[in-house]
Chain A
Amino acid sequence: MKIVVTVKQVPDPNGQHRLDADDTIARDGEVVLDPGDECGIEVGLQLKEAHGGEVVLVSMGPERSREAIRRGLSMGADRGLLITSDELSGADALLTATALATAIQPEEPDLVISATESYDGSTGMVPPMLAELLGVPQLTFATKVEVDGETVTVHRQTEGGYQVVEAHGPSLVTVTAGIAEPRYASLKGIMAARSKEVKVLSFEDLGLDSSEPVETVESIEPAEEREAGEVIEDDGNSAVERIMETLQAARVI
């Protein structure tokens, strides 16, 4: 089966970040392959191991996103597509999904895998848009994915448990962070990745126009912060007493 995994490069979740002068999230600090997408790659590789086929990584971002693709290739993916353009900073979800769909369509994948939400954008809007633009159903919040012939079955995490959801034929699956432990890239994998193909596509190549944003950022202000209260050191008993007083004052007990 042919599996496409969407991957995004994001600011390192463990690093320090700042905003650029134009209030976009600075991309020149430490960046990594989105940890959620690492899980997506892992699921893709496991399916390939079970059913044969190919895992293709697709990313849209600045030239340095090649590093994110490279990392996935070291894990074992077969090749990559990098959509890059100068106009990308601040691309909205619809433009991102449109670019990804245009690049993915000719691949005619059996399965597309994305993370439920990215670490920086994190609103999870790209995958449903991508599914719509590719004309495939979406099986979302997967904590488990199984493929049997044409049938894809997932356990879809819900508030109170999970649903078993099934589709036949090409589909898009979004995976949760808990679904699988991403493998480490072996030295051999890292060496092999160097000779794997990463094809670069520009907006012009894809026939895309990014001149009319669907939304405009008008202003950015600091969020209202709660005022800090009192911080006390526990010396064995005082803490419990103080918490009890606070709970009583709040009439909880």
Chain B
Amino acid sequence: MATIWTYAELDSGALAPISLELLACARSMGEVTSIALGPGAGEAAASLGRHGAGRVLLSEDGVYAEYLAEPATDALAALVEKEKPDVLLFGFTPDSREVAGRLAARLGVGLISNALSVELSGDEVRAKVPYFGGAQVATFRANRRPAIILVRPKSYEAEEVGGEAGREPVEVTIGEGSTRARIIETKVEAGEQIKLEDAPVVVSGGRGLGGPENFHLVEELAEALGGASGASRAIVDAGWVPYAMQVGQTGKTVRPGVYIAAGISGAMQHTVGMKSSKLIISINKDAEAPIHKISDLGVVGDALTILPKLTAAVRARTGK
């Protein structure tokens, strides 16, 4: 049976959602071992077990949380060397991709990033990856072992299957040469809003809003609908809203019940992060805007006049 490893990402001691999604992907392929490194790994192990990891290799060592990428790379390289897994899955997230990149270069095996799905048949490992901005899907075959594959968040749904993982400590000495990029301080800027990825409704705004002074129209509608607000990269790059709100290829992937896009053109790099939403409503004054072609209801009109009226109507209906 193939041995499949997953890298469990810990974010300030808590398991990142992608780590459980990876198990849904891994479970169908073989025997699953998760690697959890850093404070919180012990607690994470229980959850990893319930989601399908048969075994968790873990270390609570603070070094993994204090320095970027290199300590985790050292640990994984030593473990891979010893046990030679067939497949090693990472989340395609900012933190995991740095570890995966270093590891793939150190082992000389390369990797496949941004995978939508992974498949094992016989001893061949394949992954499907968005190509040419998402208009196409390419199938890649990994030629070396371990096959390192980075899976896009929200490509698999995390699922509890019951079970308890066996735990084994990771005993790797992290050399001084790997404690170099040190995290001195962590600053939190994001407000109280519901997490974008978990929100039942997402209202996103783009450059069509005209300026940062109009973004409150998006926030107010999101709040009235009990959802979260998001943004296109154009307005994140322009500094209107923080990066945490960006939806798309280089931002978050969301899958809410309803996604409302206001003043967003619908570039492929944006839609790849939201097109799996159950219902999509777009407001864009250009009838030819690509966003209208993927939405269930496309409204050709001015977001600046429609948003406040819509918010008022929602408030009137819900009595809030």
Name the B residues within 8 Å of A17 (CB-CB): 132
Whether B46 sits at the interface, judged by CB under 8 Å, is no
Interface size in chain A (residues, C-beta < 8 A): 80
Q: Give the complex CA separation of A125 and B283 in angstroms.
A: 35
Name the A residues within 8 Å of B141 (CB-CB): 215-216, 218
A88 to chain B, nearest CB (A): 16
Whether A158 sits at the interface, judged by CB under 8 Å, is yes
Name the one of B98, B243, B306 contacting A138, with C-beta atoms under 8 angstroms: B98
Residue of B nearest to A221 (CB): B137
Decide: B298 and A231 in contact? CB cutoff 8 A.
yes
Q: Give the complex CA separation of A227 and B281 in angstroms.
A: 13
A8 to chain B, nearest CB (A): 16
Decide: A138 and B69 in contact? CB cutoff 8 A.
yes
B140 to chain A, nearest CB (A): 5
Name the one of A116, A124, A223 contacting B136, with C-beta atoms under 8 angstroms: A223
Decide: A228 and B317 in contact? CB cutoff 8 A.
no
A172 to chain B, nearest CB (A): 10
Decide: A215 and B70 in contact? CB cutoff 8 A.
no
| A246/B139 contact (C-beta < 8 A), A92-B110, A94-B105, A123-B114 known | no
Name the one of B99, B182, B201, B302 contacting A167, with C-beta atoms under 8 angstroms: B182
Name the A residues within 8 Å of B301 (CB-CB): 233-234, 239
Whether A21 sits at the interface, judged by CB under 8 Å, is no
Whether B318 sits at the interface, judged by CB under 8 Å, is yes
Q: Give the complex CA separation of A168 and B299 in angstroms.
A: 54
| Stretch from A49-57, A62-70, A128-136 contacting the other chain | A128-136
Whether A230 sits at the interface, judged by CB under 8 Å, is yes
| A165/B292 contact (C-beta < 8 A), A239-B306, A250-B278 known | no
Name the A residues within 8 Å of B126 (CB-CB): 218
Whether A247 sits at the interface, judged by CB under 8 Å, is yes
Name the B residues within 8 Å of A126 (CB-CB): 101
Name the one of B114, B140, B280 contacting A216, with C-beta atoms under 8 angstroms: B140
Decide: A225 and B294 in contact? CB cutoff 8 A.
yes
B162 to chain A, nearest CB (A): 30
Name the one of A163, A169, A220, A232 contacting B300, with C-beta atoms under 8 angstroms: A232
Interface residues, chain A, CB within 8 Å of chain B? 17, 19, 23, 25, 92-94, 97-98, 116-117, 122-133, 136-141, 153, 156-169, 171, 176-178, 212-226, 228-234, 239-240, 242-244, 246-247, 250, 252-253
